[in-house]
Amino acid sequence: MLTFIKTQAASILGSGADYLTTIILVEIFHWGYLPANAAGNICGGTAQFILCRNWVFKLGKKRTRVRALKFILVFIGNLLLSSAGIYFFTHYIRTNYIISKTITSVLLGISYNYWMQKKFVFS
């Protein structure tokens, strides 16, 4: 249970980097919400990987290349699911991109991300 809580904390911190990047790119630099979401996901995913490797699962630099490759594979799936979810909620349901991102992030965080990181990336 402690691992789940730490993973969620790392996810929240990674999400902070993700949201900050996305919002700055959309609101200040006038990027579209989908490319801004992708850039935000990359920043947040990098932060989350470092936190998970060093704090949640305490692996340090042990087998970093293998874990990074696994993380990238899981991350690509997350990026595709995230983009699809945000597009769906923003385009079809007509919600603000930040609300769409929040709904999608929560759904992926408690389902796909936790299990893939625990069972595949950091196992």
List the domain boundaries for the chain: 2-121
Distance CA 82, CA 63 (A): 28
Q: What is the pLDDT of residues 38-90, one digit of tens each?
A: 999 999 989 988 888 788 877 766 677 888 888 889 989 999 999 999 999 99
pLDDT at 62: 65
Distances in whole angstroms, Cα of residue 55 to Cα of each of 5, 31, 48, 91, 116: 12, 33, 10, 37, 17
Instruction: Give the pLDDT mean for 89-98.
Output: 96
Higher pLDDT: 59 or 96? It is 96
